[in-house]
Structure formats: C-alpha cells, structure tokens
Copies of this chain bind each other. A is one copy, B any other.
Amino acid sequence: MSTLWKSRYAQRTLGIKSSAIRELLKVTQKPEIISFGGGLPAPDVFPVERFEEACHKVLCEHGAQALQYGTTEGYQPLREMIAQNMARYGIVAKAENVLLTSGSQQALDLIGKLLVNRGDRVVVEAPTYLGALQAFNVYGAQYVPVPVDNDGLLTERLEASLRTGPKFMYVLPNFQNPAGVTLSEGRRHELILLADKYGIPIVEDDPYGQLRYEGEHIPPLVVLDRENLRRDNGFTLGNVVYLSTFSKTLAPGIRLAWIVAPEDVISKLVQLKQAADLHTSTFNQYVAYEVAREGFLDRHVKLIRQVYRERRDTMLQALHDYFPPEVTWTHPKGGLFLWVTMPEGTDSEALFRAALAENVAFVPGDSFYANNDHEGGRHMRLNFSHSHPDQIREGIRRLSIAVKMQLHAHNRLAIVDH
C-alpha cells in the first residue's frame, strides 16, 4: 500500500538518497570501535551542572513562558546576548538582525528555501560541509566547486566560477569542515572584493570560530564586507549572511543556532521558518540564555579550547609517529577535524572497510564533494574532539595498520598493472 505514497513523492525527493556513509557509520556505534567519524563534541565538556541550575531557575521563575509557544524570531534576551557576544568579534548586529534556528542545519535549509530555484548554481568549497549539500540538494541546487588548499578557498580560481552566475557562495572560513583549513586574511579580502565586483552574496558558516587553538583571530567575512561597503554607503550588514551555533560551545542536543542577516532578509526567513516549525524551542532558548549569561559561555569556551587543543595535538603527534611518509594531513588551527590525503589512486571506501576490521572508523572523503566526482577517493576526515587522548593514539595506530595494508595492496596492483 505504501506504493500509493511512493508514486506521489515530489520531484525534489528524487535527489535525496540515503547516505551510504551514514549507514556504514551506524556500525561505528559498537563499543570496541574507536570512531573518528562523527562530528561530535566531547560529552566530557558538556556543562551538565550549569544546565541543571539553568533548568531549575527557568522553570521556577519563567515556567509559564518557557513552556509556552514563542515568537518565530526567537527569545529576545537571547537574541540580544548573541548580538552583544558577536560585537566582540567586530560583527555589528542588532537583536533584530538575529534569527534563532533549530541548529545550523535549519539555517542552511532556510537559506536553500529562500534562495535556490531548481538548477540554480551555488559556489562551494571542494571539499565542503556535507550537511549544506544535503540542505541545498532538496531545492535542486547545482554546484560550482572551488578547491581549497592550506589557506582555504583558492580565490585565484574563484573568478571563473563567479562568471557562471551563481546565486550565492557558501563558505566555511574557519577550521573548515571537513578539511580543517582556515581562509587566510588576504584571501578573505580578495573574496569580499570579488563578491562585490560580481554582485554575488556570501553565506558564511562559522560553527567553530571560537574554537581556535593557535594563531590570531582573523576577522569574519561579514566584518570585512561591512568595512568594504561602509566606504561607499554606511550599510551595517550587506552581502554576507553569517551563521553560527551553540552546538560546539554549549551542547548540540539543545539544537540552537542563529542567522545574522539584514533585517529584510531576516523578515523573509522568519516567514519561511514560521511555515517550517513555527519557532525554535522556547524552553531551550530560555535555558541556553541562563547557561550562557554572566560570562559563563566565555569561561566554558576556554575550557573546551584547552581540551580540544590537547586532542588535536595528540592526533597530530600520533599521525606523525604511525603513518607512512606518503600520507599527508592538514594542521587545523581550531575546530574539530583534520583531513588526511593518501597517495593518488587510493580507494578510501576500501580503506574504510579495512579500518573497520581494525576497529577504527572515519568518514571517507567522497561525501564532501558536491559533484560526486570521486576527488575524495584519497581523503579521509578525522574528528579529534570526541575521543580521549589515549583512544586517539590507539585509534591512529589501528588506522595506520589499515592504511599501510591499503598502500601495499595498491602498490602490488600498480606493479601488476604495469
């Protein structure tokens, strides 16, 4: 009888496939497996006690409001707090420029809904965040991928892409998911000037910006855009819509993120969000506000930085100690991920299976390329935030066994081919 439904599915569902990787990653739930696969924050740093105090306070003092329907825009004190916090990074926004969303994934969905007609082009990094591709795919986006190197998006390759008339660019400037690379300040300026020249707006996704473990903060695109525009006309927000989240600084289980945009864009997004889920959980917004206030968020972010820096360093050291010299990897200055590049011709799906046999998991690189062109076949994304340092070292040791086996197999095949 389900065929009655199936024959009625809308056109947009045809592009939506069950992710093979997601299915494979399900096996990584087994306790004996060390998983570098998910993008999970470390539960060790969830501020559980602070959450408990906050829940208690919210329910005692604001129970009737916190459990009731709320406005689509979001809880006003939280919008104001977010605007104030961002001001320290030079992002000049009023509460009215902030829309609370049910995680950054909803922000991406709303942006796809707002901007993408079937067949519209979107400039993305290669590789880029898988979830953004999933969100935009629903609306029929086509992609113009621009490669990244250790300094992020290759702006010298951008101009040709902009000439294809894309609807917008989607960019992750800080500690990019999956590659862990950061867009240099020089390239940020180039990107803003090119966006302005071709009139192509930018969606700047910045979930990890606060989680920097070394080096100096680099101004976000939304700030550079404002400085660029102000020279002409004094606009405070213009060509860049900026996304960030509490998922990596407080906890992902509360599904709280936000969009910063000009007020008329916010107003349209509010209408779309109202149709999508009315509003984000009132209760979670009240609780997050109580958790974050009085400087707690800043203190907590410092703790997370310390914990994740140690884990990143452990992973980098273990890669250095265990991995063969033909394999290279990025050196992320923050965030949750690093990106491993194998010699050309390696099959990362075969490597994935070999790794599972050694009880260690990662995400094969293919998933992060927009056009499924298997550029990702020789890459793997490793998450370093979720596992303890001793697990990280052991996991990389196991992974190195799988990697060496694959390289030998590949070399043997190459010899046979020859």
Contacts and interface: CB of A to CB of B under 8 A. Distances in A.
A229 interface: yes
B59 A52 contact: yes
Interface string A12-55: 11001110000000000000000000111101101011011001
B252 A67 contact: yes
Q: Which among A8, A51, A252 has the highest number of chain B CB atoms within 10 Å?
A: A8
A51 B59 contact: yes
B116 A10 contact: yes
A59 B51 CA distance: 8
A26 B31 CA distance: 52
Contacts of A46: 63-64, 67-68
A14 to B, nearest CB: 11
Contact of A2 (B59, B135, B264): B264
Nearest to A233: B1
Contact of A277 (B43, B67, B103): B103
A60 interface: yes
A283 to B, nearest CB: 5
A255 B275 contact: no
Contacts of A105: 274-278
Contact of A69 (B12, B13, B70, B252): B252
A19 B347 CA distance: 53
A316 to B, nearest CB: 25
Contact of A68 (B4, B253, B272): B253
A68 B18 CA distance: 22
A90 interface: no
A269 to B, nearest CB: 10
Interface stretch (A106-114, A211-219, A305-313, A402-410): A106-114
A411 B115 CA distance: 50
Nearest to A64: B43
B137 A275 contact: yes
A415 to B, nearest CB: 42
A278 B131 contact: yes
Interface in A215-246: 229, 233, 235, 237-239, 241
B265 A5 contact: yes
B68 A41 contact: yes
Nearest to A10: B117
B1 A114 contact: no
Contacts of A272: 13, 16, 138
A343 interface: no
A70 B277 contact: no
A104 to B, nearest CB: 9
A271 B16 contact: yes
Contacts of A66: 253
A44 B253 CA distance: 28
Contact of A48 (B5, B67, B69, B264): B67
Contact of A102 (B8, B267, B277, B282): B277
A247 B68 CA distance: 9
Contacts of A271: 13, 16-18
Contacts of A235: 1
3 smallest CB-CB distances across A and B, nearest first, come from A1-B238, A43-B64, A67-B251
5 contacts: A41-B68, A52-B60, A68-B251, A102-B255, A103-B277
